[in-house]
Structure 1
Amino acid sequence: MSRNSRVKVVLNHPNVCRQLLNNTQLLDEVEYQVTGMAAVHPAIKVYRNSGVSRGNVVATIPMAVEDAHRGLLTDILGRVRI
């Protein structure tokens, strides 16, 4: 296969929802990582939404803070490892 070949990945939506989006252990780990990294600035808030059809972890930051620290939130979310 050449270096520039493209790969198409197709996910089974029901399986992704069941195995990832409703996985308490996975959500705990993501929340732990995001909360730890968000401690760099007191304006960053981390929320956990579980107990619905799918769980998620959300980090928010005021636009003025993001503008002053260009890419901070993107950097935090890009460092999450599962």
Structure 2
Amino acid sequence: MKPGKLVLDRAAVSKELLHNAQILDNVEAQFRGMATAHRAIKVYRNEDSNRGNVVATIPKAIEDAHRGTLAGFPGRLTL
């Protein structure tokens, strides 16, 4: 059996995933829930660029002290 090839339509992916308000709402809600782990974690949502995104930030010193707090967010995310 030959390996398959996956080709994504960039415009469709952008419209269906990167600008999907329901997905962004879901991700933002989960990140805000995870951000309660430490008061220094801030969650931002940006939909003004060519793709929507949700960003969580934490000062490096706090992330170092609580190793992996922020790094574990994507692994716990469900869509």
The TM tier, using the shorter chain, reads 0.7 to 0.9
The residue that corresponds to 2:51 in the other structure is 54
Displacement after TM superposition at 1:16 (Å): 1.3
The one-letter amino acid of 1:73's match is L
TM-score calculated relative to the size of structure 1: 0.83
Unaligned runs of 5+ in 1: none
Distance 2:73 2:57 in 1: 11
Distance 1:71 1:7 in 2: 35
The residue that corresponds to 1:44 in the other structure is 41
How many residues are matched? Answer: 78
Displacement after TM superposition at 1:29 (Å): 0.3
Quote the RMSD (CA, aligned, Å). 1.8
Unaligned runs of 5+ in 2: none
* Per-residue CA distance 1:23-76 (angstroms, 9 max, x = gap): 001100000000001111000000000143211000001000110111111112
Q: Percent same amino acid at aligned positions?
A: 56
Q: 1:28 aligns with which of 11, 22, 25?
A: 25
